[in-house]
Amino acid sequence: MMHYGIPCWMVAAVILLSSCATRLASLPDQSASQIEASYTVYRNVAYGSDPEQVMDIYLSETAASYGKHNYTIVFLHGGAYYLSDKAKEEKYIEPYLRKGLNVVNLNYRLKRGIATATSDLPLALNFLQNQADAYSLELDRVIVTGFSAGAQIATNVGLSWNDPSYPDRLDPGTRIVGIINFSGPVDQLDVIERIFVDHEYELFSAAGKALFSGEGYADPEAVAIYEPVNYFDRRDPPVFLWHGGLDDQIPPDTFQAFTGKFRAGRDVLRFVPQGKHSPTDEELAAAYAEIFAFLDGLRR
C-alpha cells in the first residue's frame, strides 16, 4: 500500500526554513547609492496637529524578506526636550538604513516638558497603526530607540506600554519588542533637573526649567512617571543601553539602579569608561556591531 503523506524530511525542511530569518549582523552594508535605490522615503509626515509632530518614514524594498528580523526602527533625537531636530542626528539611523531595515525618524514637541514630549511617541505609533494600509511597516516588531532625551522617551514608553497604569496607551496591534538607549536618563530625573537648572550655560538652564510644569523643582510624584526604572520588570522587552563614564550631563551613577535590574541573557549594557555624553564615531560603530547581534538574538 503506497503512502501519499508528506515525507518527514520535507516536514523538517519546512520547519527549519520557517524558523530561519536573515541575520542582520552578517548582512553586508548597502552603499549610499544602494540605499537611495532601495528606499521610498516620506518626509515630514504629520502625525498630529502641531507643526513639530512630524516624522520621516523610510520604507525598504528588502525588509519584508528578513522574517522575524523585519523590525520597524523608531528613532527619537536628543536635545534636552528643548531643541534639535530629526535631521541633525541621522547618524543614529544610518546603520539601520545600510542594513535595509524600515526606519521612522521622529520629531516631537519641544520646550513643553518631558510629559508632552513623551506622549508624542505613543501618538506617532498609534498614527502609524491607523495608517497601516499606507505604510508597509511591521508594527508588531517595533524597536524604539533614541539618543539622550529621545532615549529617555523611547525607554519610558518601551517599558511602560504593557503597564495599564501608564497614561499614554498604545492601540492594539502595536508591540514593542526591543529598546536601544544611547545616554538617555533612566532614573533620578530630580538630580538631572537640578544639574540643568543650575547650569552656568543659559541654554542648559532654560532647558532644565522647562522639563516639568510649574515653578521650582518638580514634585517627586510627577518625576517618577517619567523614570524608566519604575516600570522595568521581567515581562518587558530587552534593553540595550550605551552610556559613558565621563558623561557630564547624565551622571553615570544614575544608571546603576536601572542596570542592576538587567536580566541575564536578555539585556545588554555597553559602558564606555572614557565615553562622554555623545559617542564618538568609533564608539558608535562598535556599539552598532553589538546592536545588530542584540537584534538577531531577540526572541518573540
Q: What is the pLDDT of residue 216?
A: 83
Is the pLDDT assigned to residue 1 strictly greater than 50?
Answer: no
Write down the pLDDT at residue 300. Answer: 63
Rounded to whole angstroms, the Cα distance separating 272 from 283 reads 8
User: Quick one: cell of 252?
Assistant: 553615570
Between 136 and 214, the more confident residue is 136
Name residue, grid cell 503506497: 2
Displacement of CA 44 from its chain's centroid (Å):
19
Per-residue model confidence as pLDDT tens digits over 265-284: 999 999 999 999 999 999 99
Nearest to 182 by CA among 260, 79, 109: 79
Strands (E), the chain: 39-46, 54-60, 72-76, 102-106, 142-147, 176-182, 239-244, 268-272
Mean pLDDT of 181-209: 95
3-state secondary structure at position 277: coil
At 86, the amino acid letter reads K
Whether residue 102 contacts residue 75, with contact meaning beta carbons closer than 8 Å, is answered with no
Residue 14 has pLDDT above 50, yes or no: no
The model's pTM is 0.92
pLDDT given at position 262: 98
Q: Kindly state the cell numbers that stand for 19.
A: 524558523
Question: How far, in Å, CA of 150 to CA of 63, rounded?
Answer: 25
Q: Which residues contact 298 (CB under 8 A, 6 or more apart)?
A: 177, 178, 238
Q: Which of 41-50, 99-108, 205-214, 275-284 is least confident? A: 205-214
20 pLDDT band (50/70/90 cuts)?
Answer: low
Give domain limits for the chain. 24-297
Output the pLDDT for position 162: 87
Local confidence band at 214 (pLDDT 50, 70, 90 cut-offs): confident
Average pLDDT over residues 179-197: 96
User: Which CATH number applies to 24-297: 3.40.50.1820, 3.20.20.80, 3.40.50.170, 1.10.150.80?
Assistant: 3.40.50.1820
